[in-house]
Amino acid sequence: MLSTLQSLDIFKDSYELRIAELKEEREKGIKVVGTFCLYVPDEIIFAAGADRIVLCGGRTDTIPVAEQSLPRNICPLIKSSFGAVVDACCGGNLACSHVPLVDVVVAEATCDGKKKMYEILHDYIPTYVLDLPQKPGSHEALNYFLSELRKFGKFMEDLTGNVVSNNALRREIRSANETKRLLHRLFELRRRDPPPIRGSEVLRVMQKQFFLSPDQFRQGISQLCDEMEHTTPDARTGPRIMISGCPMAAGNTKVPDIIEQKGGVIVVEESCTGTRSFWDLVDEDKDPWKALAERYLEIPCACMTPNDQRVARIVDLAKQYNVQGVVYYTLQFCHAYNIERLRVQRALKKEKIPLLAIESDYGDSDMEQIGIRVDAFLEMIA
């Protein structure tokens, strides 16, 4: 079904423009950083006068390239991302437009698969790894992460030759907060019944969040919200669904597409391509480094332990969005999200909110089976 929201075209048309912009920047000597995770603060990259582009892979065609070096039984996001880098660096023909634009990768110590992949990635492209405490709740963890962020700031200064000043950081924190506030506005509109936009459309927009420049992205979101506020949505009458779990990188829209084809109405996503990226703002009144460390350690990723805040957030979102069922999405072999499902399921059960667990890869061989299970789930909760 074609969307009636004209503003979505801004995001569709933005790809070529952004690639051209990044090429131009590189010709002028501006450094471009490739990232894979929410834990790497854009604010520090921009404060150093560099640009950034997301490298998370959602494509299937780069996976066979990765499987020549990596085990097959690891998460498809890792394989797809790694395959895109290897293919681009070894003169392959898959034409990833992102990798050739990148001077350096800034990676992060999150799940085991990513950490070990980054060690090999360094053979193809310079890779800096930001370390993370795994138990984020303590004072010690905060101090450690603060020192890691300062080290990262120094790395960016050496890369760009620019100083990461407190003023520049404050400016970037304000800018990133502005984006987050706009995303709150967008997601607030989705609480309506029926919501004025489909979940699969929001996902495609969110997949551009770390690809477009902040200005481009904000312009698009702002116009989209204006239009949504004055649009009478098509009648969408199916059960209200939340998707929770692993991120869905660009190219991967399989599960939301199936849910909507079957009549489900996706109203919110608890994921890194959903609320996790923007829900919490950075405190603008504190020392900027400390404020960044505090806020980034609050990201409720399943790589952290314990991760009570994620469980609480899911229950809270389910209530706020009047959700009738949660589709818990795990990428195949992602143990962190897969195991954490049990705690999420128990918490939701207490609130009488049913959960459907789907574990999948980027292929299409399980589409029919997922469709059957989604159908049965929607029928049960309708």
Nearer residue to ligand BJ8 within complex by CB, 96 or 331: 331
Between CA 22 and CA 27 the distance in angstroms is 9
User: Does the footprint of ligand BJ8 cover residue 267 (CB under 6 A)?
Assistant: no
Q: Which stretch binds ligand BJ8 (CB under 6 A): 84-92, 126-134, 252-260, 331-339?
A: 331-339
- Residues in 44-83 that interact with ligand BJ8 by CB under 6 A: 75, 77-78
User: Does the footprint of ligand BJ8 cover residue 250 (CB under 6 A)?
Assistant: no
Helix axes 288-297, 166-189, angle to 10 degrees: 40
User: Does the footprint of ligand BJ8 cover residue 101 (CB under 6 A)?
Assistant: no
Which of 246, 258, 266, 297 binds ligand BJ8 (CB under 6 A)? It is 246
Between CA 37 and CA 131 the distance in angstroms is 12
Please report where in the chains the tokens 């995303």 appear, as a residue. Answer: 183
CA 66 to mean position of chain CA atoms: 21
* Burial label, 237 (beta-carbon count in 10 A; 0-12, 13-18, 19+): exposed
Nearer residue to ligand BJ8 within complex by CB, 8 or 243: 243
Q: Are 367 and 257 in contact (CB under 8 A)?
A: no
User: Does the footprint of ligand BJ8 cover residue 113 (CB under 6 A)?
Assistant: yes
Q: Which stretch binds ligand BJ8 (CB under 6 A): 32-40, 132-140, 231-239, 354-362?
A: 32-40
User: Does the footprint of ligand BJ8 cover residue 331 (CB under 6 A)?
Assistant: yes
Minimum distance from CB of 61 to ligand BJ8 (Å)? 18
Between CA 378 and CA 370 the distance in angstroms is 12
Between CA 329 and CA 337 the distance in angstroms is 8
User: Does the footprint of ligand BJ8 cover residue 248 (CB under 6 A)?
Assistant: no
Minimum distance from CB of 223 to ligand BJ8 (Å)? 27
Between CA 86 and CA 33 the distance in angstroms is 17
Nearer residue to ligand BJ8 within complex by CB, 133 or 238: 133
Q: Which stretch binds ligand BJ8 (CB under 6 A): 45-53, 110-118, 341-349, 374-382?
A: 110-118
Tell me the sheet residues that pair with 127: 105
User: b vs e for 148-174, b when ≥16 Cβ sit within 10 Å of the residue's Cβ?
Assistant: bbeebbebbbebbeeebeeebbbebbe
Nearer residue to ligand BJ8 within complex by CB, 8 or 272: 272
Q: Are 56 and 190 in contact (CB under 8 A)?
A: no
Nearer residue to ligand BJ8 within complex by CB, 225 or 334: 334
Tell me the sheet residues that pair with 130: 108
- Residues in 288-307 that interact with ligand BJ8 by CB under 6 A: 299, 301, 303
Minimum distance from CB of 285 to ligand BJ8 (Å)? 26
Which of 10, 130, 132, 272 binds ligand BJ8 (CB under 6 A)? It is 272
In the complex, the residues that contact ligand BJ8 under the rule CB under 6 A are 37-39, 75, 77-78, 110-111, 113-114, 246-247, 272, 299, 301, 303, 331, 334, 336-337
